[in-house]
Amino acid sequence: MSSFFERLQLETQSNRETFLGIEQLGRGARGDISLEIYVAFLVQAYHHVKHTVPLLMACGSRVPMEKEWLREALAEYIEEETGHQEWILNDIRACGGDPEIHRYGTPNPETELMVAYAYDTINRGNPVGFFGMVLVLEGTSIQLATNAAQAIQDSLHLPANAFSYLSSHGSLDIKHMEFYESLVNRLDDESDRQAVIHVANMMYRLYGDVFRSLPLD
């Protein structure tokens, strides 16, 4: 019998393939982008990554008592993810940008919608569905982040400290994904499983729109 993680990968495959075919993603993976586009990516990354810990906290507060093991896992995620938005601001600074402008700035509408959907899932829907977002963001990091960081660095001749977010997340999220797989395989309620699948498919679309909102030149 296949695991739920395998089912999750299968039932999100179509949206994942569409996501991976986005032009902005492909060009980033090849290093075929300008400094301005790289900074634009970092700005939008900051505006959703700064919500990671608040989202994890919100999810933990809504998890029912019988899933205490899941709340404990969320606490581990919180410890791991705290402060990562500052890495992105440091990368913007290393690229010659002013991080303080973006700290208090406004995200693109596509980024705002993705974050709002995540909060809505937790507060109005099934909070376990939030793990669909985790699949998309961490899975994308594993597939693209480290290689993209090297390609962009080679192309733009930027210092290594301009890639702390991308470089660290590629390797860090490999460990996270192994942990994630063990977690979702413990989900035995079909409504929880359906919620994770649904949110993952929605997030491939919404996160895809975040990348589509980035300039191409």
**Integer Cα distance of 70 and 92 in angstroms:** 34
Q: Give 144's pLDDT tier (boundaries 50, 70, 90).
A: confident
54-86 confidence digits (pLDDT tens): 999 999 999 999 999 999 999 988 988 888 999
* Structural domain boundaries in the chain: 4-212
Nearest Cα to Cα of residue 150 among 171, 172, 166:
166
- State the fold for domain 4-212: Heme Oxygenase; Chain A (1.20.910)
pLDDT number for residue 2: 86
| Residue from 25, 26, 16, 50 nearest 203 by CA | 16
- pLDDT of 99-141, one tens digit each? 999 999 999 999 999 999 999 999 999 999 999 999 999 888 7
Q: Which two tokens stand for residue 86?
A: 């500052």
Q: State pLDDT tens for residues 160-182.
A: 999 999 887 655 556 678 889 99
Q: How far, in Å, CA of 112 to CA of 162, rounded?
A: 25
